[in-house]
């Protein structure tokens, strides 16, 4: 098994610790990895902003760099979902069959479904509340969507429960959007902030010290509200918790 490690641009620039934790975890579980240094943005911001044409060259570049691997793994549900769901549509316009959409996995998805891990290396003696991002829930199936009325599950929760000392919670309305939504938070900032405030109230009500999840973009949005309003909760990417002790 050979894995190409994809570190999305905002993690590389703003939350590099999540990328480092991802590498440490995969290395701990004996995964053979490459980190293609020529990798760029996947193109999600352009496509979400209505400029799909400008994302095509990035999709082609991604295919060129990552097409040779058995799996591509990224610590970002939204970027993973973009490659998985949108790349085939973008590349089909150029009569190019997408090679990477079927082999890219979010880190938690990869650990849970492919490696099927049964233990974690470290300890995290804190209460955490899981943030289920929209892309993770509805495009990657990291947890069950409430509107489907199916038996409740959470792959992130399953993994976190393997960490010693941790207490894991989920907020009321566990899969409700936080209001980030990519360009939505720029185009509709007032609505976006109100949604984030509501989401934070539910997270804080769990009594958790940390909010964690698979999408730093959602947590970045909520973190901005927490800083402005001086709310009593912190943020940490799920990869950092799972890699604690490494």
The domain segmentation of the chain, as residue ranges, is: 2-115, 127-242
What are the structure tokens assigned to 228, written together?
Answer: 């402005």
Matching CATH topology for 2-115 and 127-242?
yes
d(CA 82, CA 8): 11
φ/ψ region of 152 (left if φ > 0, alpha if ψ in -120 to 50, else beta) reads beta
Does domain 127-242 fall under CATH 3.40.50? My reply is yes
Asked if 107 and 74 touch (Cβ cutoff 8 Å), the reply is yes
- Exposed / middle / buried, residue 233 (Cβ in 10 Å: 0-12, 13-18, 19+): middle
Is residue 76 predicted with pLDDT exceeding 90? yes
What are the structure tokens assigned to 145, written together?
Answer: 């969507």
What are the structure tokens assigned to 147, written together?
Answer: 């509107």
Exposure string for 101-124, b = 16+ CB within 10 A, e = fewer: bebbbbbbbbbbeebebeebbeeb
Strands 234-237 and 210-213: parallel
Please give the span between the terminal C-alpha atoms of the chain, in angstroms, as a whole number. Answer: 22
Asked if 69 and 207 touch (Cβ cutoff 8 Å), the reply is no
Q: Would you say the pTM of this structure is higher than 0.85?
A: yes
SS3 for 223?
helix
Q: What is the pLDDT of residues 170-212, one digit of tens each?
A: 999 999 999 888 778 778 889 989 999 999 999 999 999 999 9
Tell me what the mean pLDDT of segment 56-64 comes to: 95
Q: What is the mean pLDDT of the chain?
A: 94
d(CA 11, CA 75): 8
Q: What is the pLDDT of residues 12-58, one digit of tens each?
A: 999 999 999 999 999 999 999 999 999 999 999 898 888 888 899 99
Domain 2-115 falls in which CATH fold?
Rossmann fold (3.40.50)
Torsional sign, CA 139, 141, 142, 146 = positive
CA distances from 134 to 80, 81, 214 (A): 12, 10, 11
Q: At what angle do helices 189-205 and 216-229 cross, to 10 degrees?
A: 90
């Amino acid at each position: 098994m050979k894995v190409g490690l994809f570190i999305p641009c905002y993690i590389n620039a703003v939350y590099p610790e999540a990328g480092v934790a991802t590498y440490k975890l995969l290395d701990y579980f004996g995964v053979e990895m490459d980190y293609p240094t020529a990798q760029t943005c996947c193109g999600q911001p352009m496509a979400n902003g209505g400029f799909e044409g400008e994302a095509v060259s990035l999709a082609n570049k991604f295919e060129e760099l990552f097409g040779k691997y058995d799996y591509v793994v990224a610590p970002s549900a939204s970027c993973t979902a973009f490659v998985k769901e949108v790349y085939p549509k973008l590349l089909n316009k150029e009569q190019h069959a997408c090679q990477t959409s079927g082999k890219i996995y979010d880190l938690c998805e990869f650990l849970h479904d492919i490696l099927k891990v049964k233990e974690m290396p470290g300890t995290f003696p804190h209460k955490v509340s899981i943030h289920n991002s929209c892309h993770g829930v509805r495009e990657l199936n990291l947890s069950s969507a409430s509107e489907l009325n199916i038996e409740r599950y959470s792959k992130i929760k399953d993994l976190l429960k393997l960490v010693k000392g941790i207490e894991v919670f989920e907020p009321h309305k566990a899969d409700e959007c936080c209001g980030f939504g990519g360009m939505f938070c720029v185009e509709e900032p007032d609505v976006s902030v109100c949604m984030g405030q509501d989401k934070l109230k539910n997270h804080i009500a769990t009594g958790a010290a940390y909010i964690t999840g698979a999408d730093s973009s959602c947590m970045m949005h909520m973190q901005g509200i927490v800083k402005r309003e001086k709310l009593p909760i912190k943020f940490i990417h799920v990869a950092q918790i799972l890699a604690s002790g490494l």
